[in-house]
Amino acid sequence: MCGIVGYIGDNNPTNVIMAGLHRLEYRGYDSAGVAVVNEGRLDCLKSLGKLKVLDEKLEASPLGGKLGIGHTRWATHGAPSEENSHPHFDGAKEIAVVHNGIIENYQEIRAALEADGVEFRSQTDTETIAHLVRKYYQGDLFAAVKRALQDVEGAYAIGVICKDNPDVLVAARHGSPLIVGLGDGEAFIASDVPAILRFTRKVLYLDNGQVCEIRRDGHRIEDLQGNTIELEVNHIEWDDAAAEKEGYPHFMLKEIHQQPEVIQNTLRGRVDEGSDEVRLTEMNISTDDLKKIEKIVIVACGTAWHAGMVGKYLIEKFTRTPVELDLASEYRYRDPIVPENTLMIPVSQSGETADTLEAIRIAKSRGAKVASIVNAVGSSVARESHGVIYQQAGPEIGVASTKAYTSQCTAFALFTIWLAETRETIDKAEAKKMIAYLREIPGKIQQILDNQDAIQRCAEDPKYRDAQSALYLGRSYNFPSALEGALKLKEISYIHAEGYAAGEMKHGPIALVTDELPVVCVAVEGETYDKMVSNIQEIRARSGIVLSVATEGNQNIEQHSDDVFYVPSCYEPFSPIVVAVPLQLLSYYVAANRGCDVDQPRNLAKSVTVE
Footprint of ligand F6R (CB under 6 A): 301-304, 348-350, 353, 356, 400-401, 487, 491, 607-608
Least distance CB 411 / ligand F6R (angstroms):
12
Residue with Cβ nearer ligand F6R (511 or 605)? 605
Residues 455, 449: Cα–Cα separation, whole Å? 10
Least distance CB 389 / ligand F6R (angstroms):
14
For residue 460, which of 590, 585, 293, 286 has the smallest C-alpha distance? 590
Least distance CB 299 / ligand F6R (angstroms):
10
Residue with Cβ nearer ligand F6R (137 or 251)? 251
Residue with Cβ nearer ligand F6R (377 or 400)? 400
Residue with Cβ nearer ligand F6R (74 or 156)? 74
Contacts of 605 (CB under 8 A, 6+ apart): 399
CA distance between the termini of the chain: 29
Contact 128, 151 (CB under 8 A): no
Cα 120 to chain centroid distance, Å, stands at: 28
Least distance CB 353 / ligand F6R (angstroms):
3
Catalytic (active site) residue 570: no
Contacts of 556 (CB under 8 A, 6+ apart): none
Catalytic residue among 57, 317, 433, 606: 606
For residue 373, which of 292, 308, 432 has the smallest C-alpha distance? 308
Residue 364, by phi and psi: left (phi above 0), alpha (psi -120 to 50) or beta?
Answer: alpha
Catalytic residue among 2, 44, 212, 521: 2
Residue with Cβ nearer ligand F6R (212 or 487)? 487
Least distance CB 160 / ligand F6R (angstroms):
35
β-pairing, 154-162 with 169-174?
antiparallel
Collapsed DSSP state (helix, strand, coil) of residue 340: coil
Residues 301, 41: Cα–Cα separation, whole Å? 51
Catalytic (active site) residue 521: no
Least distance CB 608 / ligand F6R (angstroms):
5
Contact 97, 144 (CB under 8 A): no
Least distance CB 210 / ligand F6R (angstroms):
36
Residue with Cβ nearer ligand F6R (222 or 352)? 352
Residues 511, 10: Cα–Cα separation, whole Å? 72
Q: Which residue is nearest to ligand F6R (CB)?
A: 302
Residue with Cβ nearer ligand F6R (222 or 484)? 484
Residues 68, 427: Cα–Cα separation, whole Å? 52
* CB count in 10 Å sphere of residue 531: 14
Query: Which DSSP string corresponds to 567-611?
Result: E----GGGHHHHHHHHHHHHHHHHHHHTT--SSS-TT--SS----
Show which residues are catalytic. 2, 606
